Structure 1
Amino acid sequence: MNKEVKLEIVLNDDAEKIRNIMVEISENETLRWFKNGNKPFIPGYNSIDMQRYHTWDNKYYKIIYHGNIIGVTLISHTGKEHGRIDKLYMLPEYQGLSIGSTVLKLIEDLFPMVKVWTLDTIQESPRNHHFYEKNGYKLVSEDQEERYYCKILDGNIYDSDSYWHCKDLSYNNFRECNIKFADLHESNISNSRFSDSNLVGNIYLNSYLANNRFTNVNMNNSIFADSKMNKVEICHVSLLEAYIHDINLDVEEKANIVMERCDLANSKIVDSNLQDLKIENCNIDGMTINGVKVLDMLKCYKKNCE
């Protein structure tokens, strides 16, 4: 089976084909596991741009079976011993053929340094539960929507002087300490304070960052993706050359974004849903909509209303 199944890095040219595959998978999952109009939560599954975005660090793989793309897997990797399988989807006609088990083995071979693998899967799919448990994943927790799994590979990952395991370091102060390239997994650092510190290149993976505050922090070239940032406040921040894309507002909760006193000169909004967008008390000199100046539109409107 290993010779018949391969993992190859997704390329930009694959994006449309993978989008079509994901649409088919989502429709099948909806019919098989969901009722009352619910659907599986697969952010951006029907977006070509999202498929391209996932390629940013070359850890988005297409599953090849006998030369055909039959699914995808997305890996998040902190650079140390922890890896997370964010996505693993295959077309329904290729499920149940042991291909998925081969894919899991190929993933482990791609990242031999990873000793702890984690993932989550929906409660509605007992097939997924059986599949992961059959392949060595242990259920570690669950809630109404998700089941959370972990697999620790053979070998004592803590048998090293460089490991701190189950240590209580709370209320300690660290001054002028070098902890670069450290890896914190399943660690509680709530209510910690970082000041005058170098945070360049940090990776926060599957972490709970509620009530965090970043002040006077250099976060150039940072990426915040695949995250929940509801009710965040972003203020006094330089967003020079920022690229904000594929943002989802939970319309069921009537969520909205409020922007006040923001300098958005020379910015561009493309392919976005601006339904019921309100612009009030703003400088709109030079602002255009589809190439037409807004000031000219307003002049025509006022003229017709006279």
Structure 2
Amino acid sequence: MNEIIRLQVALETDAEQIRNMMVEIERDETDRWYDNDERPFIPGYDSINMQKYHMWDKKYYKIMYDDILAGVLLISYTGREHARVDRFYIEPTFQNKGIGSKVITLIEGMYPMVRLWTLDTIQKSIRNHKFYEKNGYEKIGEDEDERYYCKTISEPIKEINRFNSDEDFSNQNFIQCNMQNVDIYDVNMRDSGFTNMNLESGIYQNSNLSNTRFTNVNMSNAVLGDSNMNKIEICHVSLADAYIHDTNLGFEEQKAPLIMERCELRSSRIVDSNLQDLSICNCNIEGMKIDGILVSDLINIYKSSLKTEINKM
């Protein structure tokens, strides 16, 4: 095959084109693998904003086939020696041309320090299973909907780091320890406590932090994404310039309300969000607007209308 296959970092100007391609990919996968009105679970596949979100750390790649967009690849580089393939899609007309295997080789060359690659793929796609297994991935688990794969790179690398692996640190205390630039992967940190620590610029992805407590901790510039934070409590926290987006209240059948009390939210913005049944009580709404209209004006109009109706009785 003489065609040139390249990976290019996706830019915001590419978002619409990628979205359009993902709509076609979702339709093809639905027709190919699903029936009874079922569809593949591809969060935000038809959203331009979601495509832009994937670009936040410049690891969302366009797969270019002779300068034509042929697919996308999203990498979560969660540590020095491990990374996750979060999205890997080839546009239907470019499938069965050997592009996927070439992309696997390219991305491994771009991240030579990664020793462990992980991903998951749908159970329904036998084609995907054969593809990943052909390219060195081994199945490490499965459930009703997904298969989970990993690939270990065995070739030696320079300056390889020492691992603390398969050790039980449960119920241990760590005090005044230097943990700068640590690399933590596939670790159960449930019920842990972090106190008086500098966790600046930390990245927490695909993590279970249930019942974990962060107290007097510097987490500025940190990213918490693709993680289970159900029932989390955030209190006495400065959220200046925070950006909270593409977040939900849990699984459809288990949704529970988000409760915010005594929070300083002055000059904040809520955009393109579902606020159905949202309740605001005993709050300072001075200057608050909905679609550019002052809430205080809306309340005054309502009260005036209500008073008029009462007078008519």
Same fold (TM over 0.5): yes
Q: How has the CA–CA distance of structure 1 residues 81 and 32 changed in structure 2, closer, same or farther, with 3 Å as cutoff?
A: same
Deviations 1:48-71 (A, max 9, x none): 112112111111100001211111
> Is 193-202 or 19-28 further displaced after alignment?
193-202
- The residue matched to 2:216 in structure 1 has which SS? coil
Counterpart for residue 311 of structure 2: none
Counterpart for residue 40 of structure 2: 40
Counterpart for residue 185 of structure 1: 185
Q: CA separation in 2, counterparts of 1:252 and 1:171?
A: 34
Q: CA separation in 1, counterparts of 2:242 and 2:216?
A: 18
Counterpart for residue 23 of structure 1: 23
Counterpart for residue 14 of structure 1: 14
Counterpart for residue 293 of structure 2: 292
- The residue matched to 1:304 in structure 2 has which SS? helix
> Is 143-152 or 35-44 further displaced after alignment?
35-44
Q: CA separation in 2, counterparts of 1:268 and 1:185?
A: 34
Counterpart for residue 199 of structure 2: 199
Q: Within 5 Å, which residues of 2 pair with 1:57-76? A: 57-76=57-76
- The residue matched to 1:63 in structure 2 has which SS? strand
TM-score w.r.t. length of structure 1? 0.90
Deviations 1:121-173 (A, max 9, x none): 1112211111101111000111222211011113367x967233333444444
Deviations 1:88-115 (A, max 9, x none): 0111121222111111111111111111
- The residue matched to 1:84 in structure 2 has which SS? strand
Q: CA separation in 2, counterparts of 1:171 and 1:274?
A: 41
Q: How has the CA–CA distance of structure 1 residues 204 and 304 changed in structure 2, closer, same or farther, with 3 Å as cutoff?
A: closer
**Residue type matched to 2:194 in 1?**
F
Q: Report the alpha carbon displacement of residue 239 of structure 1 after superposing the two structures with TM.
A: 1.3
Count of residue pairs the alignment pairs up: 306
Asked if 1 retains the 8 angstrom alpha-carbon contact of 2:206 and 2:226, the reply is: no
Q: Report the alpha carbon displacement of residue 252 of structure 1 after superposing the two structures with TM.
A: 4.5
Q: How has the CA–CA distance of structure 1 residues 237 and 193 changed in structure 2, closer, same or farther, with 3 Å as cutoff?
A: closer
Deviations 1:207-263 (A, max 9, x none): 222221212212112222233333322222221122222223445444432222222
Counterpart for residue 267 of structure 2: 266
Query: RMSD between aligned alpha carbons?
Result: 2.4
Q: CA separation in 1, counterparts of 2:295 and 2:201?
A: 41
**Residue type matched to 2:50 in 1?**
M
Counterpart for residue 228 of structure 1: 228
Q: CA separation in 2, counterparts of 1:189 and 1:209?
A: 6
Q: How has the CA–CA distance of structure 1 residues 222 and 116 changed in structure 2, closer, same or farther, with 3 Å as cutoff?
A: same
Structure 2 stretches lacking a partner, 5+ long = 308-313
Counterpart for residue 138 of structure 2: 138
TM-score w.r.t. length of structure 2? 0.88
Please state which structure has a larger fraction of its residues in strand: 2
Structure 1 stretches lacking a partner, 5+ long = none
Q: Report the alpha carbon displacement of residue 182 of structure 1 after superposing the two structures with TM.
A: 2.4
Q: Report the alpha carbon displacement of residue 80 of structure 1 after superposing the two structures with TM.
A: 1.1
**Residue type matched to 1:219 in 2?**
M
Asked if 1 retains the 8 angstrom alpha-carbon contact of 2:203 and 2:224, the reply is: no
> Is 116-125 or 260-269 further displaced after alignment?
260-269
Q: CA separation in 1, counterparts of 2:168 and 2:181?
A: 20
Asked if 1 retains the 8 angstrom alpha-carbon contact of 2:118 and 2:151, the reply is: yes
Q: How has the CA–CA distance of structure 1 residues 284 and 95 changed in structure 2, closer, same or farther, with 3 Å as cutoff?
A: same
Q: CA separation in 1, counterparts of 2:3 and 2:131?
A: 21
